[in-house]
Amino acid sequence: MILVSAYCAVLLSFASGLLALLMNQQHILLTLSQYAVKKCFNDAGHRQDWLNKYLEERHYPAFLRLAVFILLGLSGVFAVLAGLAVLITQSVITDQIALGLPWLPWHVRFDCLSGFFYLIIGIGVCAVSLYGPGYVHSNKEKDHPFAVLGLFTGLFVSGMLLVLLADDAFFFMIAWELMSVASYFLVAFQHEKSANRRAAFLYLLMAEVGALSIILGFGVLASFSDGFTFDALRASSLSTTWASIAFVLALLGFGMKAGIVPVHVWLPEAHPVAPSHISALMSGVMLKVALYGLIRFCFDLLGDVHWQWGVVLLILGTLSALGGILYAMMQTNLKRLLAYSSVENIGIIFMVLGLSMIFMANGHPQLAALGFLAALFHAFNHALFKNLLFLGAGIIHHQTHELNIDMLGGLIKRMPKTSLLFLVGCMSISSLPLFNGFVSEWLAFQTALQVDVLDNGVLRSLIPVSAAALALTAALAAACFVKVFGLIFLGQARSRNSGKAHEVHDKGMLAGPALLAGLCFFIGIFPGVIIHLINNVSSQLLGATLPDDSTLGWLWLAPVSAHQASYSAPLVLIGALIAAGICYGYLRRNPLTVMRRAETWDCGFGGLTPRMQYSSSAFTMPLRRIFASVWIIDEQIYKDTQGAMNQDVAAVHYQLHIEDHSWPRLYRPIACGVNSLSKQVGRIQTGNIRTYLGYSFATLLLLLWVIS
């Protein structure tokens, strides 16, 4: 039953993709339906009308779009149901599908870990399919055909779901490639701009390099076992060296997809150019699938983890978290900023996963379960709020045609509902108490503070330092999202487009983000719901649960022991409501002191203009100066002078260009190397038939010599 709904989720998303193909087949459908109706019914009158109404020129595209997204949404619902069912029953379901290679049918396995990620995907897909119909409505069919978008969205979602079901390396890689390639077409959807094509190519290139690395990782495992099924891979016993090689390959492959520094460069390029609901899926959900791959590979297939791997993950995670948020801070394109912030969050997840590995390898499985819990919980939370923020960015773009946050402003009055939803997203991602982001960060700190149980002195001093880096990351994230919300929604409009914006009319476009925002708040108040589910995952995968799961009530969150640390969000919420309620009621009792509106104080000069407000680069200037060496900053100020002796400044031009260090340091050398290597190889291609005959002759001689 559970497996059936899991299959249903895959099939429905696949079907939604296929249905989208009918976008341009309207006339064929029309004739077919007329034919069918004539054949089957004698009095075809009103049935014909009913069908024609949907197949009519005007209604057909909207109707089909709706149908495609309904199918997608159903797939999401089935995914949520299947995920919840397997998590609650804690079962492991295996199956085989007679597809694929003749001697290797597709092995399917649906366990708690897959179920948890199924849940993440399901929620993301549900929100996106509520949002989608309104968002794609304004796309011009000629430039951006819906058939392409719908087909690849469906394939992309089914690819992601299949990755989670895979129980052999072949099936896994097929599903993985389906996911990667389908998402390539989605990134390249708006292909009329060359920058978008370039971003899409970069994405494809990195996805394929990553996939190669994963294949090699599986290859290392497979060479020590008799088969490609995960069961055989699990049974293999590797020496430490080979296991570490497999780990590094998997880390490179899955890390490339997840976007850890320094292999993160595709994220800030690809996310901004994809349609917003697709970037929501890619950032909120696909990165989690990569995380799933890494967890499956390390904790399940490789079996016994080494603490050195944990240290690698911890350091990479810390670098990604800090680097991601510092780069995010400097962006002016909202979606680019969100993409960098995904790098940060993935970094946090890797950090905590590293801690979990360290505790696991040092023989503290319960603390490992705590770290695992924090990592998966943060993955879940990130899926919620990053999805929400990307959908919000989509609404902003849809209404103002603007993604540059220096061109927005004052939207809180013109788009009150969107602003509230976006505020919830910003608060969650800044890990403020009462919201879900805080709970996972709190758990991460609690994990890091358990360092006293370790024997290794280096680890014991390394982990607190990374905890402090986590604190810095959280504080910078708060600063970054104050900037985002403050510049987009508050103040005065900085451009005409944002001055004329109005709230979206489509209810679905608000319902999708509202679902996510509601979950962000609900999970923030009652984190126990998800923690119970993750505890089931870790009991199945790690064989250990939280140290003290008896205290896991709906009211209290005490992961280690009630004596050591506890947090009760419902009580905090009640306290906050009481405190705010009392002072609100008390202070506003006097009718004489009712609020009065007046002009903003302008220092007596008059004429406050929107250009006097702080801009994005002004807001981040102190941090840019403090952490100057993190970026490559190209800041230029030109002055147009006029008048006698060029003394008067007529205008000042300011240019700021900020670049990632990884391009000149890592990627350009590689690109140059590949280029020059291919030039060297190109030398043997002289274009002369005699030379080629010579090559054939030499090869023939060589082969004959080898054979004899």
According to the binding rule CB under 8 A, does residue 479 interact with other proteins? Answer: yes
> Of these, 625, 679, 683, 690, which contacts other proteins (CB under 8 A)?
625
In the block, which residue shows the tokens 């998800």?
Answer: 530
Read out DSSP for 345-392? HHHHHHHHHHHHHHHHHTT-HHHHHHHHHHHHHHHHHHHHHHHHHHHH
Span near other proteins by CB under 8 A; candidates 118-126, 210-218, 361-369, 477-485: 477-485
593 binds other proteins (CB under 8 A): yes
| Residue whose CB is less far from other proteins, 130 or 338 | 338
580 binds other proteins (CB under 8 A): yes
Cβ neighbours of residue 493 under 8 Å, at least 6 residues apart?
408, 409, 410, 411, 499, 501, 610
Q: Which residue has the tokens 């993709």?
A: 17
Q: Are 289 and 117 in contact (CB under 8 A)?
A: yes
d(CA 137, CA 143): 13
Between 301 and 557, CB nearer to other proteins? 557
Q: Rank residues 103 and 605 by Cβ distance to other proteins and give the closer one.
A: 605
Selection from 56, 2, 10 nearest residue 33 by Cα? 56
Q: Which residues, at least 6 apart from 529, have a Cβ–Cβ distance to it below 8 Å?
A: 522, 523, 554
Q: How far is the CB of 413 from other proteins (least distance, A)?
A: 6
Residue 298 — φ and ψ, nearest 5°? Answer: -80, -50
| Nearer to other proteins among residue 99 and residue 612 (C-beta) | 612
CB 503 to other proteins: min, Å: 14
Min dist CB 599 to other proteins, Å, is 6
Nearer to other proteins, 46 or 597 (CB): 597
**Nearest by Cα to 137 from 68, 195, 196:** 68
Taking the complex as a whole, the smallest distance from the CB of residue 479 to other proteins amounts, in Å, to 4
The binder of other proteins chosen from 79, 82, 424, 487 (CB under 8 A): 487
Q: Is 227 exposed, middle or buried (0-12, 13-18, 19+ CB in 10 A)?
A: middle
Minimum gap (Å) between residue 448 Cβ and other proteins: 8
Bridge-based pairing of strands 93-101 and 104-110 is antiparallel
Among 41, 554, 614, 697, binds other proteins (CB under 8 A): 614
Enumerate residues 6+ apart whose C-beta is below 8 A from 210: 252, 253, 254, 255, 256, 257, 263
Q: Which of 98, 594, 637, 670 binds other proteins (CB under 8 A)?
A: 594
- Asked if 499 is part of the footprint of other proteins (rule: CB under 8 A), the reply reads no
Q: Is 427 in the site for other proteins (CB under 8 A)?
A: yes
| One of 232, 315, 621, 656 touching other proteins (CB under 8 A) | 621
Among positions 138, 550, 600, 629, the unique one binding other proteins when judged by CB under 8 A: 600
Beta bridge partners of 655: 636
d(CA 166, CA 556): 37
Question: Nearest-5° angle of CA 122, CA 127, CA 133?
Answer: 125
- Rounded to a whole number of angstroms, the minimum distance from the CB of residue 567 to other proteins is 6
Q: Which amino acid is at 227?
A: G
Q: Is 618 in the site for other proteins (CB under 8 A)?
A: yes
In the complex with other proteins, the residue whose CB is nearer, 540 or 616, is 616
Q: Tell me which of 38, 59, 401, 413 binds other proteins, using CB under 8 A.
A: 413
- Please report which residue ranges of 401-456 form alpha helices under DSSP H: 411-414, 416-429, 436-449
Closest to 313 measured CA to CA, from 369, 401, 244? 244
Q: Does 409 bind other proteins (CB under 8 A)?
A: yes
Question: Smallest distance, Å, CB 436 to other proteins?
Answer: 13
Report the nearest approach of other proteins to the CB of residue 145 (Å): 40
Residues 433 to 472: which contact other proteins by CB under 8 A? 433-434, 438, 442, 445-446, 449, 451-452, 455, 457, 460-461, 464-465, 467-469, 471-472
From 105, 262, 303, 610, residue interacting with other proteins (rule: CB under 8 A): 610
Query: Which of 62, 99, 195, 583 lies at the binding interface for other proteins (CB under 8 A)?
Result: 583
Stretch that binds other proteins, among 38-46, 132-140, 183-191, 582-590 (CB under 8 A): 582-590
Distance in Å, CB of 492 to other proteins, minimum:
4
Burial label for 603, CB within 10 Å (0-12, 13-18, 19+), is exposed
Residues in binding contact with other proteins, number by CB under 8 A:
84
Scanning 58-66, 103-111, 292-300, 405-413 for contacts with other proteins by CB under 8 A, the matching segment is 405-413
Task: Please identify which residue in the block is written with the tokens 């029309």.
Answer: 30
Q: Does 587 bind other proteins (CB under 8 A)?
A: yes
Question: Of the candidates 51, 148, 202, 478, which one interacts with other proteins according to CB under 8 A?
Answer: 478
* Nearest alpha carbon to residue 326 among 674, 625, 639: 625
Name all contacts of 102-107 with Cβ < 8 Å and 24+ positions apart: 104/168, 104/170, 104/228, 106/166, 106/168, 106/170, 106/171, 107/166, 107/167, 107/168, 107/171, 107/229, 107/230, 107/231
Q: State which amino acid sits at residue 524.
A: G
| String of contacts with other proteins for each residue 664-693, x by CB under 8 A | ------------------------------
205, 562, 700, 702: which one binds other proteins (CB under 8 A): 562
Stretch that binds other proteins, among 370-378, 518-526, 563-571, 629-637 (CB under 8 A): 563-571
Q: What is the 3-state secondary structure (H, E, C) of 274-308?
A: CCHHHHHHHHHHHHHHHHHHHHHHHHHHCCCCCHH
Mask of contacts with other proteins, 532-561, x by CB under 8 A? ------------------------x-----
| Interacting span for other proteins (CB under 8 A) from 74-82, 86-94, 156-164, 406-414 | 406-414
